[in-house]
Amino acid sequence: MTRTLFLGLDGATFHILDNLTRDQPGQGIVMPFLAQFMAQGFRAPLRSTPHPLTPPAWTTLVTGRNPGEHGIYDFMRADDRQREIFFTLYDFRDIRCETIWSIAGRQDRPVVSLNFPMMAPPPKLNGSLIPGFTPWKHLRRNMTPEGLYDRLRDIPGFHPKELAWDFERENQIGEDMDARYLAAWIGYHLPREELWFQVAHKLLAEDQPALMAVMFDGTDKIQHQAWAYLDPELYPADPDAGWLRLHELCLDYFRKLDGYLAGLVRLAGPEAQIFMASDHGFTASNRVVRINRYLADLGYLTYHEIADNDAARRRASSPFAYLDWEKTVAYCPTPSSNAIFIRVAQEPSQPGIAPADYLGFRARLIEQLYALQDPVTGEPVIRDILTREAAFPGQASANAPDLTLVLADYGFVSIRNLEPVIITRPIPVGTHHPDGIMLAGGSGIQPGWQTEPIPIASVAATLLHSLDLPIPADFDGHVMTDAFTAEFLHDRPVRYGPTTRPVKDGEVQEEAIPAEDRDKILAQLAMLGYLEE
């Protein structure tokens, strides 16, 4: 019997959902099931990781540990080899902490995990796992257990191209993001979410795992590209037919998503506890902050001279073309990271600053970063700067960025070598906000709204408590006791147990995605704004 159903909604925010769960003139209630669920259950904002980005946030949610412990900071990591920087995609082998899939499974609670990122190559576990963020032709080899793929073939119309990220197709959509491309982009996610629902429905009905977890990620990708058609604060006073068509396509996605949520909750049954959460929220970003250009202006990042021809100038707009690593001491690797890495020379002949100069250099850089102002308004463009030791303490702290920037509008930085350093966007785009959503309902859940944000690391502890399991002593999060009734907590008090088990080498396959396909993934991330080309 399924005790616990977890529904992940990537990037979901109350700013949008509150509007879609209210009766609106001309459209009614777009998400009637979610409206009822929210009205009858528990609700609170969920505070994401210090930098609210998909890989570190979902990894924190499924490990109960913060990035300084689990070690995932971005989609990709930079390997500084002094004379050159190499970039590698993070995957499951980089996670240094045990997941709730393992914790629950080894204590006789079978699990199903669907579409969560950083889960490939898959670990062995008591149950089934299909990773997210995986190209379709590598999906079968990254499922577990053996034979799961053949079971999925019983689903009418099943094809892994509809289930996984099809990087080739997605990279063809939206390069210019005109109305036609954007409509195709939104429409593409409808059959994909439908198939994830069908897979979840099948495994929930046939396997009845103690913990059933599935993540829908179209919410994030549509909000990135179509925020201007979803944010009620950006609705035009007199929308034209093109705007109305794209707006309706967005609403159609959320209507269908509402049906998927309703179907899985019904199937789980009245005795199950239902939890919904997002890895971060969303908001509007109005500025472009070209951070590497600013570091170059400060003299910390150096580019080789650019030839006087169009081809060379086009190449120079790429992040690291013409970058002189011999003379570069600070740089941002990806816009999604909002990170600055300071290069420290281990030997006098190597590029970077001397180890003894690190703290002084960093303090001076922080002061110079805070001095960045919008040239039009005079307002600071950076609201906070997080240091490695303050934001990411733990066993993996040494791999964390030296500095992480929180922009005034929460936007991602740009790493292109273009001027000016700061410009205003003609149309606001969707970007990540630190506060996502937490919802709960079902047996033993206490209805009510909480305004104080819950740390995202507390979701793992809460799911384990719902499964009647002890909370590992080394978890960073705590059980959200306000979400449960007094009677439930009386009958099932919170228990604490031993620490999580060490992650062992050799528990996963050798490689999730061959090297020849990684460029396609990087191209797709660039289109979504997580990387730049």
For residues 304 and 131, which has the higher predicted lDDT (pLDDT)? 131
Mean pLDDT of 481-489: 97
Res. 484: pLDDT tops 90: yes
The CA distance from 448 to 461, in Å, is: 20
Neighbours of 337 (CB within 10 A): 27
Give the DSSP letter of residue 366.
H
pLDDT of residue 172: 37
Tokens representing 260 are: 């998927």
Neighbours of 180 (CB within 10 A): 12
Mean pLDDT of 413-442: 95
Q: What is the DSSP string of 248-288?
A: HHHHHHHHHHHHHHHHHHHHH-TTSEEEEE-S-EEEEEEEE
CATH classification (class only), 4-280+434-527 = alpha beta
By the 8 A CB rule, do 389 and 373 touch? no
Q: What is the DSSP string of 408-441?
A: TT-PPPB--S-SSSEEEEEEEEEEEESEEEEEEE
Q: What is the mean pLDDT of the chain?
A: 90
Tokens representing 151 are: 């079971």
Tell which residue, 130, 80, 125, has the closest CA to residue 100: 125
Residues of the chain with CATH 3.40.720.10: 4-280+434-527
pLDDT of residue 309: 79
The CA distance from 428 to 420, in Å, is: 18
Identify whether 121 is preceded by a cis peptide bond (ω within 30 of 0).
Answer: yes
Judged by DSSP in three states, 31 sits in: coil
Mean pLDDT of 383-405: 97
Res. 319: pLDDT tops 70: no
By the 8 A CB rule, do 46 and 436 touch? yes
Can you state the percent helix, strand and coil of the chain, rounding each to 5? 40, 20, 40
State percent of the chain over pLDDT 70.
Answer: 89
Confidence band of 413 (pLDDT split at 50, 70, 90): very high
Min mean pLDDT across 43-57, 415-429, 506-520 is at 506-520
For the entire predicted model, the pTM comes to 0.92
Res. 84: pLDDT tops 80: no
pLDDT digits (tens, 9 = 90+) for 449-460: 999 999 999 999
The CA distance from 273 to 444, in Å, is: 7
Tell which residue, 210, 206, 189, 207, has the closest CA to residue 9: 189
Min mean pLDDT across 331-335, 459-463, 472-476, 526-530 is at 526-530
Tokens representing 103 are: 């914790």
Confidence band of 173 (pLDDT split at 50, 70, 90): very low
The CA distance from 476 to 501, in Å, is: 15
The CA distance from 182 to 248, in Å, is: 12
Res. 112: pLDDT tops 60: yes
The CA distance from 532 to 336, in Å, is: 9
Beta-strand pair 448-449/42-47: parallel
Res. 8: pLDDT tops 60: yes
Min mean pLDDT across 153-157, 390-394, 484-488 is at 153-157
pLDDT digits (tens, 9 = 90+) for 255-294: 999 999 999 999 999 999 999 999 999 999 999 999 999 9
Neighbours of 348 (CB within 10 A): 6
By the 8 A CB rule, do 402 and 393 touch? no
Tokens representing 29 are: 């209630």
Our CA dihedral for 369, 371, 375, 377, rounded to 10 degrees, sits at: 120
Beta-strand pair 422-433/281-289: antiparallel
- Nearest 5°: the CA angle 274, 280, 283 is 125
Tokens representing 415 are: 């790493």
pLDDT digits (tens, 9 = 90+) for 239-257: 999 999 999 999 999 999 9
The CA distance from 243 to 245, in Å, is: 5
Res. 506: pLDDT tops 60: no
Mean pLDDT of 211-232: 94
By the 8 A CB rule, do 132 and 279 touch? no
Identify whether 455 is preceded by a cis peptide bond (ω within 30 of 0).
Answer: no
Tokens representing 527 are: 């289109």
Q: How far is CA 532 from the centre of its chain?
A: 17
The CA distance from 148 to 262, in Å, is: 25
Beta-strand pair 339-342/403-407: antiparallel
By the 8 A CB rule, do 113 and 130 touch? yes
By the 8 A CB rule, do 128 and 112 touch? yes
By the 8 A CB rule, do 394 and 66 touch? yes
Tokens representing 46 are: 């969920």
pLDDT of residue 511: 55
Our CA dihedral for 358, 359, 361, 366, rounded to 10 degrees, sits at: 130
